[in-house]
Structure 1
Amino acid sequence: MDLEEFLEHVNSGKTIHFPSEAQELCDEFLREATRIKMKLNCEYHTEEEIQEIMAELTGQEVNKTLNLIPPFHTDCGKNIHIGENVFINSNCTMQDQGGIYIGNDVLIGHNVCLLTLNHDFEIEKRAELHPSPIHIKNKVWIGSNATILPGVTIGEGAIVAAGAVVTKDVDAKSIVGGVPAKLIKKIE
């Protein structure tokens, strides 16, 4: 299984069985991401250097409007897709095997976790992983320490309050907060 086959597998929502070729590739991507993250997180870099390192991590070109403040964490990196004018504050974690799609003009606060994998509920299958993408639409603001769970879409212009745990889709132009996150109000 190569990268293209892996991405096709996880992007179609297929389970990552343990053991399997897909799981072995996850381990390989983890080792590569760890090497690249060490380079990113353990010394000073200019914005341009950070963009180059993120391009190496994701395996795709990263636009010159990305503003990322290290440290940054991921256990894969190959299924992160970042739009234009995106700001990612320090200590963000992206578990991206299931796919993370970030639109334009997005603000992501300190310590935000974007998680795209769930373990199986059955005890005998607990090591198996179920990927599901996160979609963050344009002009979203995600507050510090928020956690976005697998399969969630954050609608355009929405705000996720600091510390929220988002377990289901968020409508456009809405503010959500709490654990689990609930609608606080609509934005006009």
Structure 2
Amino acid sequence: MWVSLNRFLVRLLLVINAAYWRVIYLEFRRRYEISPEFRFNGKNILLYGNGRIVLAGNSYIGDSSTVQSSVDCNVEIGSGCHISSNVRIFTESMKADSDLRVKPVPSKTGDVVIGDACWIGANVLINPGVSIGENSVVGANSVVVRDIPPNEIWGGVPAKLIRKKLPSAI
């Protein structure tokens, strides 16, 4: 009897949890410009900030990812993009060279644009002011600090060019 009660409670909690995230994602769709074909592919995905967030169709973002857009900044993710789990996209960050004892700490801001058909691997950090060209790949565990041209594969900390895509693959 206890086993079936436990199974029932686990199933009930899973249903409640899924419903909770559906409500959160519906609120994101109301607040930001998100295509009906854009998928939230998992739980714990956070969109926040008073800037503009545009997420195109046939794209998705994975579990535990964060997209932040500060006032007067934009985040744009093109169509057909694959954004893996635990990806961080920020339009504002503290300036590392600043004296952190002086408040407020100066920050850098800038739009983030990810072109169509990009693949962003797991655990990637995309810094403010970065553009990633269409059909590009950013390898897992990378930190993107500068623009990535179209049709290239980048990876590392900081991310560097690994290679250009072969013309036959484009």
Q: What TM-score do you get using the length of structure 1 for normalisation?
A: 0.69
Whole-angstrom CA distance in 2 between matches of 1:45 and 1:184:
41
Whole-angstrom CA distance in 2 between matches of 1:85 and 1:170:
22
One of 38, 47, 53 as aligned partner of 1:80: 53
Aligned CA RMSD, in angstroms, stands at: 2.3
The one-letter amino acid of 1:82's match is L
Structure 1 match to 2:7: none
- The answer as to 2:128 corresponding to 1:154 is no
Q: How much has 1:82 moved relative to structure 2?
A: 0.7
Cα gap change, 1:47 to 1:62, in 2 (>3 Å): farther
Cα gap change, 1:128 to 1:77, in 2 (>3 Å): same
Structure 1 match to 2:111: 133
On the 8 A contact 1:76/1:95 being kept in 2, the answer is yes
On the 8 A contact 1:48/1:64 being kept in 2, the answer is no
Whole-angstrom CA distance in 2 between matches of 1:63 and 1:137:
15
Q: How much has 1:171 moved relative to structure 2?
A: 1.0
Superposed structure 1 runs of 4+ greater than 6 Å apart:
none
Whole-angstrom CA distance in 2 between matches of 1:112 and 1:60:
19
Which structure 1 residue ranges, 5 or more long, are not aligned?
Answer: 1-41
Cα gap change, 1:45 to 1:78, in 2 (>3 Å): farther
On the 8 A contact 1:47/1:67 being kept in 2, the answer is no
One of 13, 32, 52 as aligned partner of 2:26: 52
Larger fraction in strand = 2
Larger fraction in helix = 1
The one-letter amino acid of 1:150's match is P
Alignment of 1:103-142 (within 5 A): 103-120=78-95, 121-123=97-99, 124=102, 126-142=104-120
Alignment of 1:80-99 (within 5 A): 80-97=53-70, 98-99=73-74
Q: How much has 1:154 moved relative to structure 2?
A: 0.4
- The answer as to 2:40 corresponding to 1:65 is no
The one-letter amino acid of 1:130's match is K
Larger-Rg structure? 2
- Other structure's SS at 2:18 match: coil
Cα gap change, 1:50 to 1:62, in 2 (>3 Å): farther
For residues 78-114 of structure 1, give each alpha carbon's deviation from its aligned partner in whole angstroms, at most 9, with x where no partner exists.
4211111111110001121132111111110010011
Whole-angstrom CA distance in 1 between matches of 2:60 and 2:164:
23
- The answer as to 2:154 corresponding to 1:180 is no
On the 8 A contact 1:51/1:64 being kept in 2, the answer is no
Cα gap change, 1:60 to 1:110, in 2 (>3 Å): closer
For residues 103-152 of structure 1, give each alpha carbon's deviation from its aligned partner in whole angstroms, at most 9, with x where no partner exists.
11111001001111122444235534332011000000000001111111
